[in-house]
Structure 1
Amino acid sequence: MTKHGDPDRILALLWRHSGKGDGRPVPGRKPKLTVDDVVAAAVALADAEGLAAVSMNRVATALGVGTMTLYTYAPSKADLVDLMVDALLVEKALPGPGEARPVGWRAQVRLYADVTVAQYRAHPWLRHVSVVRPPVGPGMLADSEYVLSTVSGLGLVAAETNAAAESITAFVLATAALEADAAELERTTAQTNDSWWHDRDRLWQDYFDPARYPTMNAVWHAGGFDSSTHEAMVRSHAFGLARLLDGIELGRVY
């Protein structure tokens, strides 16, 4: 990944629709492209071939412009990726302040989880993007605002409210990354994950020793592994999220 450019420049680009600057490269005659055009082309390329395929040259070629022209819209690939990620976060369109939302904080959290996992599965390259230094744009803030709002009425102090929101976000993003990994592997190998495991059935016949793995053997014979890989992933996500919310609901964590 290339380094980011000027922080003020990328902030202006991320917030180009805020009314405080539209992110145009230069004033004067209207350019043939917009930042939105560049971002859309980059997202389409990443969806089709993965994030590694996204380069300034490839995106410029897709748009029919010179590579140097593209740098007037996005100063670097790292900045372009920030724009791509925040654009997708904006697309999540989670309910904002005063907008209709599911009844009950748990249902609101599940909405966030479902939308996030679905987006990672649709755009598997998202799992390769750092969440430690996210794009500080409107999409990221809207995401954070929504998750905080789901737990803000639980009677926790401010630090606990933030910790609860961050715990939810961490769990959901980890699950979403697993879903994205599964989707990306199926795309790049043209083989389902169930088929991959089926090809390795001899593991259980030739190498698995019930005496060495008694717990796994017991769970297996009790039907614990009967689901497809996708069904098991969905079930684990639902179970883990529910238990996390149970813990948050118990009250203060410090």
Structure 2
Amino acid sequence: MAEEISGRGDPLKSLHLLWGRASAGKRGPKSKVQLADLVQAAIAIADAEGIDAVSTRRVAEAVGISAMSFYTHIPDKSALIDLMIDAIAGGPEGAALPRFDPANWRDNITMVATAYRQFYLDHPWALQVGTHRPVLGPNTLRAYEAILSVVDGLGLDEVEMDMTVTLITNYVFGAVRDVARAASVKQQTGMSDDEWWYAIAPFLETIDWAPYPVASRVGPVVGELYGLGDPDRAFTFGLERMLDGIEAMIARKAALRA
């Protein structure tokens, strides 16, 4: 599966579409479909079949227009990808951004990180879209504003706030990627991870584990404790260790100011 990237096409055309400015000055009969219809159709295809299944022709067919008519709304698939990412990035349109009490910053970060993880579980195809060039649409900026707000008022400077947000989002991305990959592997192989481990278990029992004393001690304990994998538990453990690190940074900065 080839990775898609945001910002591949004409950046100004994408920005005009993202901010609803692309239709200014257009003449002619009103189209029977709106830009949002095409974007939502593309998201539905990606959610069901993956990003590789999204094409301008498939999306056009889904809303009942010709492939050529698609291009009167969106210039190419690159712009469509940008629109899709922005559409799924924000919360309910018109809803007020949450207000976070800095005193509860650990709970705040946990809530946002968990929501961010669920975002990828709901739209696993987004893991295949590289956003090195960010999609600077209104929903993406809204999401950035929200996650910045959870580290505001903690005594961090602006660069530290942004880098802390990057730390959080990178952790979530890495943690959720394996969960999404497990579902993809099961779909491609017809075998779950548990079934795979059970299938190879008889062979593993024939291996001389003497050269691997630590692995042979840890593996059985983990397997007996929570089976062959517990991504929720692993996510929570990693998130708590990351929060411990952020807490140490906040405490160190407070001590320097004292």
**Same fold? TM cut 0.5:** yes
2: CA distance between counterparts of 1:56 and 1:168? Answer: 34
8 A contact 1:89–1:143 mirrored in 2 = yes
8 A contact 1:92–1:115 mirrored in 2 = no
2: CA distance between counterparts of 1:28 and 1:146? Answer: 40
Aligned residues: 246
8 A contact 2:100–2:150 mirrored in 1 = no
Query: Counterpart in 1 of 2:238?
Result: 240
Q: CA deviation at 1:189?
A: 4.0
Query: Counterpart in 2 of 1:214?
Result: 213
**Which structure 1 residue ranges, 4+ long, deviate > 6 Å from structure 2?**
none
Q: CA deviation at 1:229?
A: 4.8
Q: CA deviation at 1:183?
A: 2.7
* Larger RCO, structure (CA 8 Å, separation 6 or more): 2
Structure 1: unaligned runs, 5 residues or longer: none
Distance 1:230 1:214, change over 3 A: closer
Query: Counterpart in 1 of 2:169?
Result: 169
Q: How high is the sequence identity, in percent, across the aligned residues?
A: 35
Distance 1:24 1:33, change over 3 A: farther
Give 3-state SS (helix, strand or coil) of 1:250's partner.
helix
Q: CA deviation at 1:246?
A: 0.9
2: CA distance between counterparts of 1:155 and 1:123? Answer: 34
Query: Counterpart in 2 of 1:84?
Result: 84
TM-score of the superposition, structure 1-length normalised?
A: 0.85
RMSD over aligned Cα atoms:
2.7
8 A contact 2:39–2:80 mirrored in 1 = yes
1: CA distance between counterparts of 2:233 and 2:121? Answer: 16
Amino acid at match of 1:46: A
Amino acid at match of 1:210: W
8 A contact 2:39–2:84 mirrored in 1 = yes
Query: Counterpart in 2 of 1:125?
Result: 125
Query: Counterpart in 2 of 1:40?
Result: 40
Distance 1:23 1:88, change over 3 A: farther
Structure 2: unaligned runs, 5 residues or longer: 254-258
2: CA distance between counterparts of 1:24 and 1:42? Answer: 24
Is structure 2 residue 13 aligned with structure 1 residue 9?
yes
8 A contact 1:25–1:73 mirrored in 2 = no
TM-score of the superposition, structure 2-length normalised?
A: 0.84
8 A contact 1:24–1:73 mirrored in 2 = no
2: CA distance between counterparts of 1:152 and 1:73? Answer: 39
Amino acid at match of 1:79: A
Give 3-state SS (helix, strand or coil) of 2:233's partner.
helix
Is structure 2 residue 178 aligned with structure 1 residue 178?
yes
Amino acid at match of 1:215: V
